[in-house]
Amino acid sequence: MIELHGITKTYVKNGGLTVKVLDGIDLQIKQGEFVAIMAPSGMGKSTLMNIIGCLDHPSAGRYILDGNEVELMDDDDLSRTRNKKIGFVFQSFNLLPKTTALENVELPLLYSPEDHDLAARAQAALEAVGLGDRLHHVPSELSGGQQQRVAIARALVNDPALVLADEPTGNLDSASSEEVMNIFKKLNASGRTIILVTHEAEVAEQAQRIIKMKDGRIVSDERRAS
């Protein structure tokens, strides 16, 4: 599903200093895998996630997603790919504060004009993460774990094959983290590809495969026994 060949990413800071964040990443991820990308802060894991999610472009290298060269996609192609193929879950939830759970989950569907049953699909997504009784609550009326489950429902509402989660348990207590990880495991069991970025070993160990990074490079790639 995902092929990365020689991916590098460099930034030029003030004064012309060049910083290489990714340094020659080669990686393949098959459909249906559950992969954790693990590294301390500042080691390139979120940059790699952004490139996989078509949110950022590499400075060099090739990225092939579902057989398509991402480099050759125009902005419209990239937008359609992000909306239809990829669901995003972030550490900070990224929910609109004055908007209900149902309305937050409906947002990705607004880019699908052919879909006229937004509320029903959003409600089904919320029910799938155990929030059928919280449809009309705004984020301030929900716990952190519930807010993250709303964010997961929003990521799922377009039925993407790939879910990218960047530190999804970083703002949660241990009980909420367990609930969220159980949702990801169920999604993976249903056939979805899950790629999760974390610096927490206990979170990474729940994936089928752990990729460790340091200084913008992959230093280990471990497949765990199922």
| Domain hosting residue 100, numbered range | 2-223
- Reported for 46-50, long-range contacts at CB under 8 A and 24+ positions apart, including other chains, are 46/166, 46/167, 46/197, 47/9, 47/21, 47/22, 48/7, 48/22, 48/197, 48/213, 49/164, 49/166, 49/195, 49/197
CB atoms within 10 A of CB 91: 18
pLDDT per residue over 160-177, tens digit each?
999 999 999 999 999 999
Give the Cα separation of 9 and 49 in Å (integer): 12
Q: How many CB atoms lie within 10 A of CB 187?
A: 22
Backbone φ and ψ for 206, nearest 5 degrees, come out as -90, -5
**The predicted structure's pLDDT at residue 113:** 59
pLDDT band at 41 (very low <50, low <70, confident <90, very high): confident
For the stretch 57-80, pLDDT in tens is 999 999 999 999 999 999 999 998
Predicted confidence at residue 117, as pLDDT, reads 83
In the chain, the number of structural domains is 1
The rounded mean pLDDT for the chain is: 93
User: Residues of the chain with pLDDT > 90: what percent?
Assistant: 80
Report d(CA 135, CA 124) in Å as an integer. 10
Q: CATH number for the domain including 10?
A: 3.40.50.300
